Amino acid sequence: MSEVSDLAEDDLIKVVLAGLSKTTESMAAGRLFTMVGLLAPLLTHDAALEALSFGMSLFEATLTEKDGDGPWSANLEPPANMDESIAGYIYASLADPRASMRWQAAHVVVELSAVGKVAILDYLVRMAQKKVGGTFADARLHFYDLHAVANGSYSPFHAAQ
């Protein structure tokens, strides 16, 4: 879009935000979330960290140890390796309760195979063999691994072999 307008991306974002600030209509939650995507590139590292800390502090008053995956543990630490993180995200998507999401994730696996992303596929296969969803899976979903490996009648692990 910046090519069409001859404006730098930051300037274009400022124009859009200025236009949104002049509207008199209240915004739905979905529109507010899209505004975050517009604001993020304009924030400094410190401002982004402050905004995140503020948002997280709003949750602290309402969260209990029973929420989410429970109290913090080393098992919740995301992988340091980017390929392993991507594999975890894909594995979680393969186990998503929505068939449409599982189908999309299966296609991601097929495309990773086609372009030779062996490292990601290796991590993905290891997760399937261990039958653990890792950081990206809800620890309370006991049959997560069954969804991820047996994606309906089509399993990307069989297609990738």
User: Domain ranges in the chain?
Assistant: 2-60, 74-159
Per-residue confidence in pLDDT tens, the chain, 161 aa: 556 667 787 787 788 778 777 777 777 877 777 777 888 888 899 998 998 899 888 888 888 877 777 777 787 788 889 999 999 889 888 888 788 988 999 999 999 999 999 999 999 999 888 877 677 776 666 655 565 555 444 444 444 44
Q: Which two tokens stand for residue 8?
A: 């730098």
For tokens 């991507």, what's the residue? 86
pLDDT value, residue 155: 46
What region does 79 belong to: left with phi over 0, alpha with psi -120 to 50, or beta?
A: beta
Length of the chain: 161
**Nearest alpha-carbon partner for 152 in 94, 109, 111, 112:** 94
Residues whose CB falls within 8 Å of the CB of residue 58, separated by 6 or more in sequence, listed in order? none
Task: Measure the CA–CA gap between 133 and 93, rounded to whole angstroms.
Answer: 10
Task: Measure the CA–CA gap between 83 and 120, rounded to whole angstroms.
Answer: 5
Q: How far is CA 122 from CA 70, 91, 103, 128, 131, in A?
A: 29, 12, 20, 10, 14
pLDDT value, residue 140: 65
Q: How many CA atoms lie within 13 A of 73 on its CB side?
A: 9
